[in-house]
Amino acid sequence: MENTTTLKQTVNLLKYTFVIVPIVAGADKFTNLLTHWEQYLNPTLAGSLPFSAASFMMIVGVIEIAAGIIVLKKPAIGGYIVAAWLTVIALTLLLGFMYADVAVRDLVMAIAAFSMARLSKLVANP
């Protein structure tokens, strides 16, 4: 019984982390209060966009907010979405070898989101 409680608490901690962080980061793409998000955009990618980098970041923000909401409603599915999203972000950062520290952090968070998705299935179906 104690193991089940510990597992549920751990999944909930990860779940709410991956609800709050994507929603806050996504919302900040519109305000740039936490950081100036465009600096993380690979210049090659930014140059090939049919619109401004700021517009691209707002699209990214909407996707991140949606991902956070999906994690809230369906953590098993949302965890995989967040893990994939963070992996793509990390790979784009590594392609330009910009912000390798942020890329590594995003890969670690992707592993945590993936783990949350897997563990949430155990909690839903013990």
Q: Which pLDDT score is estimated for 113?
A: 98
Question: Full-prediction pTM beyond 0.75?
Answer: yes
Write down the domain spans for the chain: 2-124
Mean pLDDT of 97-123: 94
pLDDT in tens, 58-108: 999 999 999 999 999 999 999 999 999 999 999 988 987 889 999 999 999
Widest distance between CA atoms in the chain = 55
Q: Are 46 and 95 in contact (CB under 8 A)?
A: no
In whole angstroms, how far apart are CA 106 and each of 50, 66, 100, 126?
26, 18, 10, 30
With cut-offs at 50, 70 and 90, classify the pLDDT of residue 41.
Answer: confident
